[in-house]
Amino acid sequence: MATIILLSFLFQIILVIALAPLVTGIIRKTKARFQHRRGATVLQPYYDLVKLMRKDVVVSSVASWLFHCTPFVVFSSMVVISLLVPTVVTPVPLHWVGDIIAVIYLFALGRFFMALVGLDTASAFGGLGSSREMSIASIVEPAMMLAIFTAAVTAGSTDLSVIVDRLSTTPASMLNPSHLLAFAGLFVVSLAETGRIPVDNPATHLELTMIHEAMILEYSGPYLALIEWASQVKLVIFLALMANMFFPLGMATTWSPSALAVGAGAFLLKVIGLALIVALVESTNAKLRLFRVPELLVVAFILSLLSLILYFIVGA
Amino acid sequence: MIPVHLPLVELLIDIFAASILVTAFLIVSSRSLVFYIRLFALQSLLLGMVALLVVIGYGETHILIAAILTIAIKAIAIPVVLTRVIERIHVQKEIRFRMSITASLMFCGGIVILADSVAQSILRSPHAEASAVTRVLSVSIAMMLIGLFIMMTRQKALTQIIGLLTMENGVFLSGLSITYGMPLIVEVGIFFDILVAVLILGVFVFRINKTFESISIDSLRSLRH
């Protein structure tokens, strides 16, 4: 029993955390293809991380202890979340620790420290990034809560493993209108949360537009690598949430090798498919003006709200 | 035609009805006039699909003509006319709002809840039978109210037309949901009414633009003097 638990921890960590840079690489490659460039290899994010790990850290003389501990807080919160999110097999390794609400607040913990560290070094850009991040987060969080609650209400539980199990046993409910709307809402929320293009541009350091990049502008070397890696993991976690909370096809429920193989294959297909959709959205849309971002997020919020209302109208 | 009560048909009706509601919300959330018209075309197409599903699932063949007319007139003819009007008057965007987009979306969310409670009280009467089609009633009431809301809060004459058409789609949908569609003669009458109304309104918009150099309905007040 103990070995199985240990094994499940390792499996999940390897799958989510080690594969995260690859997913980012796939998105970048797809975007490059859309722009008629050849683009860097899909393994480039790994090389970047290794290169950053080898470099020295430059720390501002006014930086406090927050500056040193934030990368670890952010990364470890992502590691814990990745053990809470269903990927290949249910129940998830840490299912006795917390449910979907714990996941949302672990995200909030990482964001809180990032915002603090943006202010810590007193650089003009850091504060700007923090204020933008927090104002966007204040709209993103309720929208995300509502979208997730729709799935939770459908399954009658906020435990992610239970949600996945219930959905797997009644596949027809995956096509409920309320379910589809909640998925659309969560998709927009994910774009905002992971700093993708209509909200934030992950590829630029232009002062007028950056949000996430502004907060981490002071970071270098291994610290930067940890934070970059954490945001790549965050993207994979969101893709996994979307894929498995709404379409848990092919999820393994036992630890037999064949079920695991099917589960892992389905997970990879779903995550890469969603990553391609994200790349498509990024390639076909322009970044919104900052003051238009709340409109987009309110659309996401309303979609989630509608899905919850429709759940009670249609009565799934 | 033998009525076939397929759960699949009911599921599809639910999905299309939900998508219709989403298009109404997207109309409220956008600024570009071209986008309004495209969304309206999509909305009418989905409405036609719902009508077709009622034909297939419940064997109501008299809806078939209404469904085809919906797709032909509302999803193709009216959008084409309105797009022509936009091309000729060179007005692309709704700029000034009486209510911000964010507030409008919130308000429309409230409208849906209100519409649902109204629909529930109608459906609670002993004569109502529960099916996927009657469930659509709350969506149709919400559509009528959102159409009215668009007419109240937007300023361009073209947006007024879109609001009116959204309301009309709501009326069609409610007829569909309560009685599986109104008698054909009524439907056909409404269709030609709408088509002619849009043609005339299109000409009106063009004339208004020529006279006032804008299609903002606020300028129309000066007619009173």
Q: Which amino acid is at A19?
A: L
Q: State the Cα–Cα distance between residues A215 and A194, nearest whole angstrom.
A: 14
Reported as a single tens digit per residue, the pLDDT across A90-134 is 777 777 788 888 999 999 999 999 999 999 888 888 888 899 999
Q: Which amino acid is at A170?
A: T
Could you tell me if residue B113 is inside a domain?
yes
Cα-Cα-Cα-Cα torsion A41, A45, A51, A52, nearest 10 degrees, comes to 160
Report the domain count for chain B.
1
Could you tell me if residue B223 is inside a domain?
no
The pLDDT score that the predictor gives to residue A155 is 83
Reported as a single tens digit per residue, the pLDDT across B161-186 is 889 899 999 988 888 888 776 777 88
Angle at A111 between CA A100 and CA A66, to 5 degrees: 130
Reported as a single tens digit per residue, the pLDDT across A262-298 is 888 899 999 999 999 999 998 888 888 888 888 888 8
Reported as a single tens digit per residue, the pLDDT across B89-144 is 877 676 667 788 888 988 998 898 898 888 888 887 776 666 666 778 888 999 99
Phi-psi region of B56 (alpha: psi -120 to 50; beta: other; left: phi over 0): alpha
Could you tell me if residue B222 is inside a domain?
no
Are the C-beta atoms of residues A243 and A161 closer than 8 Å to each other?
A: no
Could you tell me if residue B225 is inside a domain?
no
- Residue B202 has phi, psi (to 5 degrees) of -60, -45
Contacts of B181-188 spanning 24+ positions with Cβ under 8 A: B181/B51, B181/B54, B181/B60, B181/B62, B181/B63, B181/B66, B183/B62, B184/B62, B184/B65, B184/B66, B187/B65, B187/B66, B187/B69, B188/B65, B188/B66, B188/B69
Could you tell me if residue B107 is inside a domain?
yes
Q: State the Cα–Cα distance between residues A13 and A237, nearest whole angstrom.
A: 11
Q: Report whether pLDDT(B21) > 80.
A: yes
For residue B71, give both structure tokens: 């797709």
The pLDDT score that the predictor gives to residue B47 is 92
Q: Report whether pLDDT(A314) > 70.
A: no
The pLDDT score that the predictor gives to residue B94 is 65
Q: State the Cα–Cα distance between residues A272 and A236, nearest whole angstrom.
A: 9
% of chain B residues with pLDDT over 70: 87
Could you tell me if residue B125 is inside a domain?
yes
Phi-psi region of A56 (alpha: psi -120 to 50; beta: other; left: phi over 0): beta
Shortest CB distance from A313 goes to which of B19, B29, B116? Answer: B116
The pLDDT score that the predictor gives to residue B4 is 53
| DSSP classification of residue A211 | S
Could you tell me if residue B31 is inside a domain?
yes
For residue A80, give both structure tokens: 């814990």
What interface predicted TM-score (ipTM) does this complex get? 0.74
Closest listed residue to residue B166, CA positions, set B44, B29, B77? B44
For residue A15, give both structure tokens: 């799958």
The pLDDT score that the predictor gives to residue A316 is 45
Confidence of residue A235 (pLDDT cuts 50, 70, 90): very high
- Cβ count near A277 (within 10 Å): 15
**Domain span at residue B82?**
7-92+100-217
Which of A187, A302, A305, A311 to probe by mutation at the B interface, max B CB count within 10 Å?
A: A302
Could you tell me if residue B142 is inside a domain?
yes
Shortest CB distance from B113 goes to which of A176, A309, A314? Answer: A309
Q: State the Cα–Cα distance between residues B91 and A93, nearest whole angstrom.
A: 57
Q: State the Cα–Cα distance between residues B178 and B9, nearest whole angstrom.
A: 17
Which chain A residue has the Cα nearest residue B30? A295
Which chain A residue has the Cα nearest residue B142? A306
Reported as a single tens digit per residue, the pLDDT across B36-62 is 899 999 999 999 999 898 888 877 777
**Chain B interface residues (partner A, CB cutoff 8 A):** 7, 11, 14-15, 17-19, 21-22, 25-26, 29, 101-102, 105-106, 108-109, 112-113, 116, 119, 135, 138-139
Three-state SS sequence of B157-193: HHHHHHHHHHHHHHHHHHHHHHHCCCCHHHHHHHHHH
Shortest CB distance from B112 goes to which of A295, A306, A314? Answer: A306
- Residue A60 has phi, psi (to 5 degrees) of -65, 145
Q: Is A89 helix (H, G, I), strand (E, B) or coil?
A: strand
Q: Report whether pLDDT(B2) > 50.
A: no
Mean pLDDT of A156-167: 86
Name residues whose C-beta falls within 8 Å of residue A119's C-beta, 6 or more positions apart in sequence.
A126, A127, A130
Reported as a single tens digit per residue, the pLDDT across A18-55 is 999 999 999 999 999 999 999 899 999 999 999 999 99
CA atoms within 13 A on the CB side of B128: 17
